[in-house]
Amino acid sequence: MSLWLGTVAAFTLPATATAAIDVYEFKSQQKEKEFHELTATLRCPKCQNNSIADSNAELAKDMRQKTYEMLSEGKSKQDVIDYMVARYGNFVTYNPPIMASTLILWAGPLLFIVIGFTVLVLRSRKNSVSKPAKGQLLDEKEQARLQALMAEMGQDMASDTEAASGNSNAAGGKVKK
């Protein structure tokens, strides 16, 4: 029984796989070349990032069929592209023309980079302005007060050191100066 099922599957599965391949007959090699170029350059509106040659969507199959029919009728590549653009919009071409409706597609990435760079520059300037320079942490008045306190502490420390050495002499220890 399993041998019979295996044999049936072996003969029927390849038949279904080959049925999905579109076969077109062309009058000349030039028309076939144009067909392949067109199907590679037209984008599938449903798949969005696949060409109609690579897409298995029904819409792509219809577009391939229409491309074949138009080329068989003697239409040029530009006629086919114009028809597809008129029917599906500029999205079907990978390089849409610069128009008011497609301006954001062309200017968007550049605008994004300029805005990002501007934000980075402004933030770095803000950080450098808000942080004082290493030697300029205090204004002149505060710097003078700090110097006075340090001088006072230096005198206090010097007197504490002398007192400590005097205490050690009084305790019987000798300190060499």
Query: Considering the chain, what percentage of its residues have pLDDT values greater than 70?
Result: 72
Of the candidates 65, 80, 83, the residue with the CA atom closest to the CA atom of residue 34: 80
Measure the CA angle with vertex 118, ends 114 and 123; round to 5°: 150
Cα distances from 69 to residues 28, 29, 83, 132, in angstroms, run: 14, 16, 12, 74
Chain-wide mean pLDDT for the chain? 79
- Classify domain 9-92 at the CATH class level: mainly alpha
Domain boundaries, the chain: 9-92, 98-129
Distance CA 50, CA 47 (A): 6
pLDDT at position 170 over 70: no
Assess contact for 38 and 67: CB atoms under 8 A: yes
Whole-number Å distance between alpha carbons of 54 and 177: 95
Which residues, in sequence order, are bridge partners of residue 93? Answer: 42
Give one DSSP letter per residue of 96-115, joined into a string: ----TTTHHHHHHHHHHHHH
**Rounded to the nearest 5°, which phi and psi values hold at 96?**
-65, 150
Res 152: pLDDT: 86
State residue 164's pLDDT score.
65
pLDDT tens readout for residues 61-116: 999 999 999 999 999 999 999 999 999 888 888 887 777 877 777 788 899 999 99
